[in-house]
Structure 1
Amino acid sequence: MSTRSLLVSVGLMLGMLGALSFLQKQVPGTERMAKESRRITDMPVREADRIELKVPKGEFVFRKKEGEEWQLEKPIQGAADGTAVGRLLSEIQFVESLQTLPSGKKDEAMMQNFGLGQPSRTLVIRMKEGVCQIETGRDTPIAGGVYTRIQSGKQGERIAVVQSQLTEAMDKDLTEWREKRVMPLLVPDVQELLLHQGTLEVEVKKKDGEWSILKPVEAPADPVAVMGVLGEISSLKATQFVSDSGGDLALYGLNAPSQSFEVRTKATNRILQIGLNDPKDTNQVFAKVADQPSVFLLPRVTIEGLGKVADRVRDKRLVTMGDAGQVDSIEVTGKGGEYRLEKEKSGAGWNLVFRQKTRAADGAAVDRWLISLAEIRANRFLPTEDPARMGLTKPRQSITLKWGGETNKVETIQLGDETKEEVFARGSTTSGAMVVPIALARGLPETALGWLPKRVFPADFGAVESFIWAVGTSRKEFRRAGGGRWMSGGEDQTMVGAYVKRLEEMEVVRWMGVPSKAEIGRTEVKIIAEGKEGKKVKMVVSKGKGEVILRLEGQDFVGVLERAGWGWLKQDPSLPMGKPTQR
């Protein structure tokens, strides 16, 4: 090289470095137009369909067909990491030149000095609009730039100093460029998921939009849980690619896989095969996709989690009703007798059908129990246990739920033996037993009478208009006189209103069958109350050795009152509360 050429090259280099140093001190992004003018290409490179890249870490060819994802064609054939390719194209689209060599100033010696005689990296991006080719040489002495030759469409060849993040986006090896997700899925398209593991087979299938488990038991599947498992399979990423030629699969335990996960859609059937643990790192397992040669490593803990797919996706609900308000009939047999709860046609309340009689039930209590039933979830499943060992061949109670309307559905629950915290149960929508919280059994009243309202006066009784009170030989009659006044024997009784209020709100602790005369004990007080339209309630309160009993005329059951809270009934209604009655 002549002295003159050398001086020119050095001068140009110093000028470009000076410009680079100046630009590095500036605040970036002054004006959009100025920024766009510094970009190395104005071609739509992010719409490319082919990329050819040669870097120190290898040669790579990428291809993208319309409507599809990026694929690697060289050095292997397979899916590319679309995110990594997208970052490269975005970098090319937006990277800026810090200084451009004036046209006509370059010569061979200068190209050698810039490292562009034999470029270290070559990138060719092909698109419908043309070709963009980029070659990089040496890094500039001042950090942050690299000498670059650019040929972009019709712009001609340019030599420039370009921001060095360009080379950072290009310098990746095969592992970084390839798709690490080993079996990416379009989860909504999946129709079936199968697991093969020794003698265990799990089959989960979608039919008419509903997911069900067909093997190892027949049971409803939780759609959210199924989507979660499929999402985990789709996001499985290889931690390392061991072989791209397959080779001797026995080395990896893949000639006879210990596990396989099969995912079926209408168009495809893909199988992920699992082999041995990696002897160098037992937290990793060898794996491959059945129709591809590559062997890779996956985290063992993730595969172990997927191996529990049957329990993970099984619907843990005991009943499948979506809304407790849908149920219109509940039949109970076994412990506590046989009875039926029926929702009124208006939907406003419930009736108890027991001993061939229909009585108003505590609708709020029934609704609360149905809501709690809908929220019950299995603690665990026992698909192969002997039902006799769990008390399910002769269940303690059977509960049949019916809901009409368009569904016209029936489900039955059987309750078996209990432990301190759990109860064995079986539902008609599933095979095998399950263990659920004891709250399910405890939430059912001991008898049908437990569904009756605790309040003594019926809901349709209305306000007490008159009543007769009798204790021992004392007997008094009281009538409502209007304006909140009460009369007895032609005189105002100012204290009676408080007594009547407590009477109207009185509740029993529980209802039960009629006990023996000895258990009923001695009569303490009798009250006959009259409400609207001549409705009457006749009650007798007695005190035995164990309970304070309330008997209602015409009823074949009795109520139990609080032992410490019933004494006010004996008090003369016309006297201030707390003053003893004269007998």
Structure 2
Amino acid sequence: MRPRGLLIATAVLAALAAAVWWSNRQKKDEPENASSPKLLSLKQDEITKIEIQRREGETTRIEKSGDGAWRITAPEPLPGDKSAIESLVSSAASLNADKVVEEKPEDLAAFGLKEPHARIVITLKDGKTRTVLLGDDAPVGGGGFAQVDGDPKVYLLTSWVKGGLDKLAVDLRDKRILTFDREKIVRVEIARKQETFEFSKNAQGLWVISRPQMVRADSWSVDDYIRRLQDLKLDPVLTSDQKADLEKQFKAGEAVAAVAVTDAAGTQKLELRRNKDKYYARSSVVDGYHLVQEFDAKALDKGMADFRSKKLFDFGFDDPSKIDYRGSRRQLSLSKQGDRWMESGKQMDSVGVQTLIDRLRDLQAVSFPASGFTQPMIEVAVTSKSAEKVQISKSGDRYIARREGEPALYEISASSVEDLEKAAGDVKEAPQDKKK
């Protein structure tokens, strides 16, 4: 056998021997009905510092400041990811093992605990510390060996529990490019090549386009845009050469959009640029330049028309309580009494009224013309949680609509107007058997 083959065979046999030894030890030492041993039981609010000291590589440290916020202080000061840090603190406070491997180990080196892979030092408010040692991975079945100060036993931790403790700064840092509080946003400004516009919230807490003119916004589209901004993440493991290349590509790129988000704490800005077929960003919150995935970049490259509410009526899924319809072919004045629709003391067929409501819900713009509204041919007033009134006119072969109290105009399709007129014409008195 060649020397190389002999070495490989020897290594395989050694691994198999270790696996067999570990399997036999498990069967021999496993007590019946054993419960998960508790290694640590600490109060989370008493933990003030956790330091993860590695045999090789960085030392990671998080510390709680006077205001109760956790911060990464080593290997360098970094903003922390609140959720990730809270998960680490929770894991350290309540630490359970899968089982006891050795009550009184003769050789800690056999478990990688003589020179542990990581030493986790937990500091409490009173200055006392608790230390957890993480050793080698178990040869079979996953997990790894561990030991706690003041306890000679060697424990087996599951992979999940071990992974919850063995964290690097890259796992704990805040990777967001923008860190605004989404619940406290008061204004979003977007500047593009040919337009600048702004969102704000009205008295009802709904998004509106407040600049260059006050028009309704599609709140779902605005919320989705904000979510995508907040989901932008930096790459925490870039080399210095990669960082320099990102800066070069950004500066050579063409401006796509500049976004300013204002919340209760102030304004954060993002610049988005395109260079060839890739997108790059710079943030006012974190240093450096960042690659943005094409899917995300295109979702952020939107104009004002993309955010405008195309619906003529805002009542949505709220059923109206009153409908006044005035058209050249039909006039209706419907009011709801209990579960019945009435007109002039007569009960109307609910199916026909519901079809009319659906056609009103369906009315939406195909474009936003600057002019073209003439004499109204249809007027509809709907009362639900609020009162809304829409007028529809015909200009040539186009139908132009407007909402009462708003300067904006809406072009709607001819088919939607035809469907509306048909639905209004089909509203009839309820059959006698349905009136009972």
- Alignment TM-score, normalising by the size of structure 1: 0.55
Deviation of 1:134 after TM superposition, in Å, equals 2.1
Deviation of 1:127 after TM superposition, in Å, equals 3.3
Decide which of 396, 412, 417 is 1:436's aligned counterpart.
412
**Is 1:266 the counterpart of 2:264 in the alignment?**
yes
Cα distance between partner residues in 1 of 2:341 and 2:262: 47
Cα distance between partner residues in 2 of 1:217 and 1:170: 53
Partner of 2:379: 400
Matches within 5 A, 1:539-554: none
Distance 1:221 1:180, change over 3 A: same
Cα distance between partner residues in 1 of 2:68 and 2:365: 44
**Farther off after superposition, 115-124 or 250-259:** 250-259
Decide which of 160, 173, 176 is 2:171's aligned counterpart.
176
Task: Work out whether residues 119 and 133 of structure 2, in 8 Å CA contact, stay in contact via their aligned partners in 1.
Answer: yes
**Is 1:287 the counterpart of 2:281 in the alignment?**
yes
Cα distance between partner residues in 1 of 2:230 and 2:154: 43
Deviation of 1:61 after TM superposition, in Å, equals 1.7
Q: Which amino acid aligns with 2:418?
A: R
Which structure has the larger Rg over C-alpha atoms?
1
Cα distance between partner residues in 2 of 1:252 and 1:76: 27
Distance 1:405 1:258, change over 3 A: closer
Deviation of 1:50 after TM superposition, in Å, equals 2.3
Q: Could you list the per-position Cα deviations for residues 321-355 of structure 1 after superposition, in whole angstroms to 9, with x for gaps in the alignment? A: 455634453444xxx48x8644579896446xxxx
Partner of 2:120: 123
Q: Which amino acid aligns with 1:235?
A: D
Partner of 2:207: 211
Task: Work out whether residues 132 and 146 of structure 2, in 8 Å CA contact, stay in contact via their aligned partners in 1.
Answer: yes
Q: Identity of aligned pairs, percent? A: 17
Cα distance between partner residues in 2 of 1:439 and 1:451: 15
Deviation of 1:368 after TM superposition, in Å, equals 4.6
Q: Secondary structure at the match of 1:292?
A: coil
Partner of 1:305: 299
Partner of 2:222: 226
Q: Secondary structure at the match of 1:286?
A: strand
Task: Work out whether residues 48 and 128 of structure 1, in 8 Å CA contact, stay in contact via their aligned partners in 2.
Answer: yes
Decide which of 314, 320, 327 is 1:320's aligned counterpart.
314
Cα distance between partner residues in 2 of 1:96 and 1:345: 65
Q: Which amino acid aligns with 2:227?
A: G
Select the structure with the greater relative contact order (CA < 8 A; seq sep ≥ 6).
2
Cα distance between partner residues in 2 of 1:119 and 1:213: 59
**Is 1:99 the counterpart of 2:101 in the alignment?**
yes
Cα distance between partner residues in 1 of 2:258 and 2:293: 15
**Is 1:199 the counterpart of 2:194 in the alignment?**
yes
Matches within 5 A, 1:564-579: none
Cα distance between partner residues in 1 of 2:27 and 2:45: 27
Q: Which amino acid aligns with 1:264?
A: T
Decide which of 273, 288, 296 is 2:290's aligned counterpart.
296
Task: Work out whether residues 72 and 80 of structure 2, in 8 Å CA contact, stay in contact via their aligned partners in 1.
Answer: yes
Distance 1:50 1:28, change over 3 A: farther
Q: Which amino acid aligns with 1:75?
A: P
Aligned length: 401
Distance 1:50 1:22, change over 3 A: same
Cα distance between partner residues in 1 of 2:64 and 2:215: 43
Q: Secondary structure at the match of 2:116?
A: coil
**Is 1:162 the counterpart of 2:156 in the alignment?**
yes
Distance 1:133 1:411, change over 3 A: same
Decide which of 348, 352, 374 is 2:360's aligned counterpart.
374
Task: Work out whether residues 254 and 273 of structure 1, in 8 Å CA contact, stay in contact via their aligned partners in 2.
Answer: no
Distance 1:57 1:197, change over 3 A: farther
Deviation of 1:192 after TM superposition, in Å, equals 2.0
**Is 1:42 the counterpart of 2:45 in the alignment?**
no
- Structure with the higher helix share, 1 or 2: 2
Cα distance between partner residues in 2 of 1:95 and 1:158: 14
Task: Work out whether residues 312 and 390 of structure 2, in 8 Å CA contact, stay in contact via their aligned partners in 1.
Answer: no
Cα distance between partner residues in 2 of 1:139 and 1:289: 41
Deviation of 1:191 after TM superposition, in Å, equals 2.2
Deviation of 1:219 after TM superposition, in Å, equals 1.9
Cα distance between partner residues in 1 of 2:264 and 2:235: 30
Cα distance between partner residues in 2 of 1:143 and 1:444: 67
Distance 1:294 1:62, change over 3 A: farther
Cα distance between partner residues in 1 of 2:45 and 2:189: 39
**Is 1:412 the counterpart of 2:396 in the alignment?**
no
Matches within 5 A, 1:63-78: 63-65=63-65, 70-78=70-78
Cα distance between partner residues in 1 of 2:305 and 2:85: 39
Task: Work out whether residues 418 and 424 of structure 1, in 8 Å CA contact, stay in contact via their aligned partners in 2.
Answer: no
Q: Could you list the per-position Cα deviations for residues 424-475 of structure 1 after superposition, in whole angstroms to 9, with x for gaps in the alignment? A: 54444655544434333213549xxx859889xxx9xx9xxxxxxxxxxxxx
Deviation of 1:269 after TM superposition, in Å, equals 2.4
Task: Work out whether residues 242 and 296 of structure 1, in 8 Å CA contact, stay in contact via their aligned partners in 2.
Answer: no
Task: Work out whether residues 217 and 430 of structure 1, in 8 Å CA contact, stay in contact via their aligned partners in 2.
Answer: no
Task: Work out whether residues 414 and 427 of structure 1, in 8 Å CA contact, stay in contact via their aligned partners in 2.
Answer: no
Task: Work out whether residues 187 and 198 of structure 2, in 8 Å CA contact, stay in contact via their aligned partners in 1.
Answer: yes
Cα distance between partner residues in 1 of 2:178 and 2:31: 42
Deviation of 1:206 after TM superposition, in Å, equals 0.7
- Alignment TM-score, normalising by the size of structure 2: 0.71
**Is 1:59 the counterpart of 2:59 in the alignment?**
yes
Deviation of 1:62 after TM superposition, in Å, equals 1.9
Cα distance between partner residues in 2 of 1:53 and 1:316: 54
Deviation of 1:205 after TM superposition, in Å, equals 0.8
Cα distance between partner residues in 2 of 1:89 and 1:213: 43
Decide which of 26, 38, 50 is 1:23's aligned counterpart.
26
Q: Secondary structure at the match of 2:39?
A: coil
Cα distance between partner residues in 2 of 1:418 and 1:361: 37
Q: Which amino acid aligns with 1:394?
A: T
Task: Work out whether residues 40 and 97 of structure 1, in 8 Å CA contact, stay in contact via their aligned partners in 2.
Answer: no
Partner of 1:478: none
Cα distance between partner residues in 1 of 2:23 and 2:255: 58
Cα distance between partner residues in 1 of 2:176 and 2:31: 37
Cα distance between partner residues in 2 of 1:112 and 1:51: 25
Cα distance between partner residues in 2 of 1:319 and 1:159: 70
Q: Secondary structure at the match of 1:212?
A: strand
Cα distance between partner residues in 2 of 1:143 and 1:342: 74
Task: Work out whether residues 49 and 63 of structure 1, in 8 Å CA contact, stay in contact via their aligned partners in 2.
Answer: yes
Structure 2 segments unaligned to the other structure (5+ residues) = 1-16
